[in-house]
Chain A
Amino acid sequence: MLAPTAPSGLRADSGHAAGLRHLLVVPTAVWTLAFFVLPLGLVTVFSFGTENLITFNVSFGWTASNYAAFGSALYLSTLLRSVALSLGTTAACAFLGFPLAFFISSQRPRVQRLLLAGVIVPFWTSFLVRTYSWVNLLQIDGPADRVAHGLTGHHLQILYSPRSIAVGMVYSYLPLMVLPIYVALERISPDLYAAAADLGARPWRQFRRVVFPLARPGLIAGVIIVGVPAMGEYVIPEILGGGKTLMVGNIIVGQYLDVGDYPFGSALAVSLMVILMIMLFALRRVQPAVEAS
């Protein structure tokens, strides 16, 4: 979905030049196999091993005991919280991002560029500093709390809870949702809107019958590029969760760097990959079904 397709008009190579040309694949093949496929394979294998916590020696007995730990309420609730936060973040980004992308795409080119810069430039600021900024904004007596207190008479007690993590995640991932939707919308000819309006379609119907179907590939790209990495988020819960509210990413890091239980950390990482593959597969199934209807 992200990678463009190759043009079809290229001649197939033959002979000597083709042999040399095939060498071009070597850097990417070596790098991907050695530093991406191999480590992920290794982690998968080790997730079925056992570790002696005194000597740190890992041995294989093909045990599933590392996965049995999911039965414990702590890990299961963390995993469910991660799924919920990821889905919620994705949905919120889509609801906020779609109107914004639509608004940008319907402006004059100069205004479009300005608004796109307005979306992208915050993204260039240090991610850590932006996330930390939410601690200031959401704390008791901070700006958001004062507004809430003035309006409702209640304090805004969301810092260091799943809700503040959600705010930070929506904030960080939003540009990743806006851009692919914008790219899809920008390709729609303005004549289509005019045609729909001339034919008597009211705004909601124009949206449903013209805009949404054409923007759907961009929306699905946005859902994937937000939802999948969000599942494994580590830094945002670390800062905005105050070390109390955790996601599965925090537990994986803890198992690796603090506890040193590599097989269990690996089992968590593999489970995360499996959940994500299921989600991606489900999205693939959704797409043709929607198109057929």
Chain B
Amino acid sequence: MSLRRHPVAGALALVVVGFLWIPILAVAVNSINQSSLMVSWGGATVHWYSLALHDPNVRTGLTTTIEIALGSTLVSLVIAVSGALWWRRAPARARAVYDAMVYARIILPEVVFATALFFLFLKARFPLGILAIIVGHSVWNSAYAAVIIQARLVGLDPAIEEAAADLGATPWRAFRRVTFAALLPAIIAGGLLTFTFSFDDVVTSYFLGGNSATPLPLVLFGMIRFRITPEINAIGVMVMLFTVTLMGVAVAASTLVGSVGRGRRDALAELYGQ
């Protein structure tokens, strides 16, 4: 019997996928469950949705979250793209240091990093708030973006850029039409990933927000810790729909742009023609 068709692996796999989806189903069901204790089914209602949509804390939290996520995504992409372009031609030893720093930013427990940055900002009298959170998020987010962008850069054959130069493209034009075009899907994918990570973050925001910035996850965290709140299920469903739509667009966009980019890479004749 082939291992690849082994029924035990299949059964176990389906159970594990089920395990991943059960809490999400529970969230969806409880978001329309009239019973506020969420132990049993009490009939359908949209009450929790209306409560969530009219909650001023949720509204300002959402605005704050989007501002932070956009800011940290932008900063992260600038850091990751410039870093990856440098990394590509850097000496081996410098590259090893860069890789170690990317790696450390990803795996260091967030609690350790967030307390350290909080402490620095306190000592440096840097005000806590939205700006501080953006700085904090971009430290780890830029590392995630770097990994995605570097993976794409490795797959880019340098001969294509050299061909562009040989065919008379200025360095800027060669960069724009070849390197950047090839990186675009990774930049989009990296940008969306960092956006959602920032959108969902609790620990860094908790430390660096001070009294002035309370993004949505901290509003939810406060609700969860102090009372039973079916309202958060409704918020969870809405956030999920938002993220899934965003990701769907991202996947579609990166596939689309990816095919265009590949077309460019293959079609040297196109470069020649221009």
Contacts and interface: CB of A to CB of B under 8 A. Distances in A.
A249 B79 contact: no
A129 B239 contact: yes
B115 interface: yes
Given A99-B16, A102-B9, A118 B21 contact: yes
Interface stretch (B43-51, B195-203, B261-269): B195-203
A37 B136 CA distance: 13
Contact of A118 (B3, B20, B235): B20
Contacts of A7: 88, 154, 157-158
Contacts of A3: 99, 102-103, 146-147, 150
Contacts of B110: 229, 232, 234
A133 B23 contact: yes
Given A42-B123, A122-B21, A238-B225, A225 B107 contact: yes
B244 A121 contact: yes
A12 B102 CA distance: 23
Given A128-B217, A137-B23, A253-B111, A24 B202 contact: no
A213 interface: no
Interface string B183-227: 000000000000010001011001100000000010011001100
A69 B240 CA distance: 43
A26 B6 CA distance: 52
Interface residues of A, number: 96
Most buried by B among A4, A211, A262, A265: A4
Contacts of A139: 39
B115 A265 contact: yes
Given A119-B17, A190-B4, A27 B79 contact: yes
Interface string A267-293: 001001100100000000000000000
Interface string B10-29: 10110011011111101100
B38 A136 contact: yes
A35 B139 contact: yes
B89 A12 contact: yes
Interface in B72-91: 75, 78-80, 82-83, 85-90
B60 interface: no
A197 B2 contact: yes
Contact of A128 (B111, B146, B224): B224
B180 interface: no
B221 A128 contact: yes
Nearest to B229: A132
B112 interface: yes
Contacts of A258: none
Nearest to B216: A126
A10 B88 contact: yes
Contacts of B158: 7, 9-11
Given A25-B86, A35-B120, A106-B9, 11 more contacts: A2-B106, A6-B89, A28-B80, A28-B142, A31-B75, A96-B19, A103-B12, A142-B39, A207-B3, A229-B109, A273-B112
23 contacts: A3-B103, A4-B154, A6-B87, A6-B90, A11-B158, A13-B89, A24-B82, A24-B83, A28-B80, A32-B139, A35-B117, A35-B120, A99-B16, A122-B21, A128-B200, A132-B232, A133-B236, A136-B30, A141-B40, A171-B23, A225-B107, A235-B221, A269-B111
Interface of B: 1-6, 8-10, 12-13, 16-17, 19-24, 26-27, 30, 38-40, 75, 78-80, 82-83, 85-90, 94-95, 98-99, 101-113, 115-120, 123, 135-136, 138-139, 142, 146-147, 150-151, 154, 157-159, 162, 171, 196, 200, 202-203, 206-207, 217, 220-221, 224-225, 232-233, 235-236, 239-240, 243-244, 247
Q: Which 4 A-B pairs have the closest CB atoms?
A: A232-B109, A129-B236, A103-B13, A28-B83
